[in-house]
Amino acid sequence: MRPTPSRTRTSCSAPPADIPFTPVRLVADESCDFSVVVGLRRVGHDIVAIAETMSGADDDEVIALANSDERLLITEDKDFGRLVYAAARAHSGVILIRYPAAARSSLTDDVVKLLAERGTALYGCFAVLEPGRARVTTTAT
């Protein structure tokens, strides 16, 4: 029986505002809105888009790539939550986007803001980004 990952809401707090911009390394799953990829590249983040490099890759391949390259995985696919929590898959961090159609106009700006506020503190965490809030937990496998 595999262990259930522990969850803590306090370990991934935002870094102090006086810390300079640090590019974050990410992998964007094919489910991720491509405008997010473009926006993150525009502000200087290092992002690999699965749609450009490994189109059709399954979830196991995507999370393995993100983990091996020490990149945050950004996705809109809830299956990654099941991989991290139920299957206790190793990961370097996941950002799950949950935005309804009515709120999508602010999606890219909100992802950029999340990375500006929390940046590399998101490595090893599981974050759920929704309109108006981000829930961030640590996961240990």
Confidence bin at 17 (pLDDT 50/70/90): low
| Domain that includes residue 125, residue range | 25-140
pLDDT of residue 111: 96
CATH code at 73?
3.40.50
Q: How far apart are CA 56 and CA 110, in angstroms?
A: 27
Confidence bin at 47 (pLDDT 50/70/90): very high
Is 10 within a domain? no
- Number of domains comprising the chain: 1
Is 124 within a domain? yes
Contact yes or no for 61/131 (Cβ under 8 A):
no
Is 31 within a domain? yes
Is 38 within a domain? yes
When pLDDT is averaged across residues 9-22 and rounded to a whole number, the result is 53
Confidence bin at 10 (pLDDT 50/70/90): very low
Asked whether the predicted pLDDT for residue 13 surpasses 50, the reply is no
Residue 125 tokens read as: 């965490």
Is 6 within a domain? no
| Largest interatomic CA distance in the chain | 44
Is 3 within a domain? no
Q: How far apart are CA 83 and CA 89, in angstroms?
A: 6
When pLDDT is averaged across residues 65-79 and rounded to a whole number, the result is 93
Name which of 93, 100, 97 is nearest 112 in CA terms. Answer: 97
Give, in order, the Cα–Cα distances in Å from 31 to each of 56, 96, 116: 11, 10, 22
Is 11 within a domain? no
Q: What is the pTM of this model?
A: 0.82
More confident residue, 70 or 140: 70
Is 66 within a domain? yes
**Secondary element (H or E) of residue 105:** none
